[in-house]
Amino acid sequence: MAERRKPKETGADWVESIASKSKRSADEVRRILERYNIKPRAEIAIPRRLTIRSVIFNGQKSVGAQTPIDFEWTDLGPGVHAILSGRNLRGKTTLLSIMRWCLTGRRSLPSEMKEWFATVSLRFTLDDRTHEVRLSDAMKSEGKLIRFDEEREIPVRVFASDNEFEEVMSAFFMSELGLERLTNHTVRDGKSVDQDHDWPWLSTAMTIEPDPGALFGSTPLAAMPLRMMQMFVGMPLVGTR
């Protein structure tokens, strides 16, 4: 697994270094950094490869006649995979939505499908380390994130609601991928409002919607697609722009 380099300066040392070079007091530097939400990076991100290895789910479709759902797609790996069917409304988009749901913790399925799925699991690798999202009660978003050490399962986090699921997956990927939360400054009713954007938004760079409003990101507003592109190409201090 790729190692990560530690920065030479963090915290107070970082502020003192800026103060010395700019010939300003440490208090003044600290106030300016806080005003523009500039923080030292905890680590320098190194690209890592995320690969979905399997997706399994079961339940019961409750439209018209009760139809059992029992789906399993294993042995996935790098390459091009196609999801095909002879007719529309056969579940291709649903399958992609379930994958995205497991990776972000944010349910993207239509509300009428909420009761269709009983259990869901998605196994993925980050470089050579295997993890699995396992929903024991998909309707309630109850489950856990697991890491595998050879054949041994190691629980990483447990969640029991939609909000907890999203928080767990966001914290995991933001840390593992070395990503920075972006803060967008907007004005509402004459007041300045800060909006934080983390993994659920950043993860939209992995997919392209059928009719996208922007190539990067799902929200073509407030220059957010441009900021996402800048972040992924490695431009510094993107969170302050």
- Tens of pLDDT, residue by residue, the chain (241 residues): 344 444 444 567 888 888 899 999 999 988 888 877 677 765 566 788 999 999 999 999 887 778 899 999 999 999 998 888 877 767 788 999 999 999 999 998 888 898 999 999 999 999 999 999 999 999 999 999 999 998 899 999 999 999 999 999 999 999 898 887 777 777 778 777 777 778 988 888 787 776 666 666 666 666 677 777 776 666 665 555 5
Cα–Cα dist 98/122, whole Å: 9
Cα–Cα dist 42/40, whole Å: 6
Cα–Cα dist 83/81, whole Å: 7
List Cβ neighbours of 147 (8 Å cut-off, separation of 6 or more).
129, 130, 131, 153, 154, 156
Q: Could you give the residue ranges of the DSSP H alpha helices within the chain?
A: 11-22, 26-35, 92-104, 162-176, 199-202, 224-232
Cα–Cα dist 202/198, whole Å: 6
Per CATH, the number for 50-176 is 3.40.50.300
Give the start-to-end residue ranges of the domains of the chain: 1-44, 50-176, 180-241
Q: Could you give the residue ranges of the DSSP H alpha helices within 60-161?
A: 92-104
Cα–Cα dist 106/2, whole Å: 28
